[in-house]
Every structure is written in structure tokens, then in C-alpha cells.
Chain A
Amino acid sequence: SAVISQKPSRDICQRGTSLTIQCQVDSQVTMMFWYRQQPGQSLTLIATANQGSEATYESGFVIDKFPISRPNLTFSTLTVSNMSPEDSSIYLCSVEDPQGSPNYGYTFGSGTRLTVV
């Protein structure tokens, strides 16, 4: 299955600042997904990032708050902008396994634990 390197693994940030999270995949993938897991909650999809086009955001998430870049088929970034304590969450990137879902599922990065103070 695909291997994803996600960084940073954790960060503590001041409110009003921005943090950019990176995901590097060891193989070319068409779609990359960004999720958020708030404390005690399920994983919620933020947006889907395709190379060469703008990301598609889910209801409740906007590009100004969570800009995404997808410069090539192995890399993507998610920025959490103008942070507030409510943005404290785990952020995860995910890809459809190159061998094909669903038998192989979707692979996730190790996550970025963000705390906003």
C-alpha cells in the first residue's frame, strides 16, 4: 500500500497565526483527501485535492480558512489560517491506495496534532 509522510506531527500555535501541513506520498495518486478529527469526534472530510485543479471543499469548510495546494501527484499541503482555539484538532491526509480501493482501503498519514493557544 501507499506510504504517506505527514509533517509536522504536532504543533502548538498562537491564535491568529497560520500553519501549513505537508503530505508526501511514495507513489502517484489521483486524489488526496484532507480530514479533521476534533477531540472525541469522528473524522470529517475537509476537502478533496486533485492535481491541476482547485480543491473541492465540503460543507462548512472554505478555501480562505483551509487553502490547499496540490502541485503534483505525490504532494499536497493544507494550511489552517488565522487559527483560533476551535481549530485544535488532528488533521490527516489520505489517499486512495494505488492498488485500488475498496479492497485495500484508503491510506492515511500519521496525522498532525494541532493545539491553538
Chain B
Amino acid sequence: DQQVKQNSPSLSVQEGRISILNCDYTNSMFDYFLWYKKYPAEGPTFLISISSIKDKNEDGRFTVFLNKSAKHLSLHIVPSQPGDSAVYFCAAFAVGNEKLTFGTGTRLTIIP
């Protein structure tokens, strides 16, 4: 039972344009959603999070949008830079059960 899904295994975006990574979930009990970035041979690095009571959170070039009714969230990166090329994981957890449930990841490639 995949509670967090990233249906696009890969995405290519031109440098300077907007990258939009999508994530869907099935468990309505999740309280927080997080995005991680992973380079090869490194552990995932935390990017940004959003509470289930909010619909948007912004941090520099990164913005996460949450549509709770659709059980959908997205990460927007603008403008996209070559260093953004990595695998991005969506994750979620419920308060009181601090175990992260991860999506399968989306490989983002920024084309110079």
C-alpha cells in the first residue's frame, strides 16, 4: 500500500524555467509533508515542509503547495538551476507517529 506516490519518475526542465514536482497521498491522517533532495552517494537533504493546515509555504526559490481536498502537493522551483538536478522525494508523517513515509522519487534534470 503506497501511501505517498510520485507518479513521474523523471522530469527535464530548461535552466531558468519553473520545475514542478508532484506528489499524491492517500492517508488523510498525515500532519506534515516534507520534500527532500538527494544527490548520488549522499543522504537525502531536507528542503522544505508544510503543515496540513496550510496551503502554501515558501522558502527562497522553493514553494510547496498543498491541496488537502485532492490529497495532492507540489514543489515549485523557480528559477531552476543546474545544481537542482537531483532526485526529489516527497515524504509525510503524522504527529505522534514520527515515521516518515516516502514517495518513490522524481529525478529532476535541469538542462543548461
Contacts and interface: CB of A to CB of B under 8 A. Distances in A.
Given A31-B98, A105-B49, A111 B41 contact: yes
A33 B99 contact: yes
Contacts of B44: 43, 92, 108
16 contacts: A33-B99, A33-B100, A43-B102, A58-B99, A92-B44, A94-B100, A97-B46, A101-B49, A102-B32, A105-B34, A105-B36, A105-B47, A110-B42, A110-B43, A111-B42, A113-B41
Closest 6 CB pairs of A and B: A105-B46, A108-B43, A102-B32, A43-B102, A42-B102, A42-B104
B43 A102 contact: no
A13 to B, nearest CB: 18
Interface of A: 1, 4, 6, 9, 31, 33, 41-45, 48, 58, 92, 94, 96-97, 101-111, 113
B89 interface: yes
B2 to A, nearest CB: 8
Nearest to A92: B43
A111 to B, nearest CB: 5
Given A102-B49, A107-B46, A9 B41 contact: yes
B65 interface: no
A97 B93 CA distance: 15
B98 A101 contact: yes
B67 to A, nearest CB: 19
B98 A96 contact: yes
A63 B103 CA distance: 25
Given A101-B49, A102-B34, A105-B34, 9 more contacts: A6-B43, A41-B104, A43-B44, A43-B100, A102-B32, A102-B93, A104-B46, A106-B46, A108-B44
Nearest to B99: A45
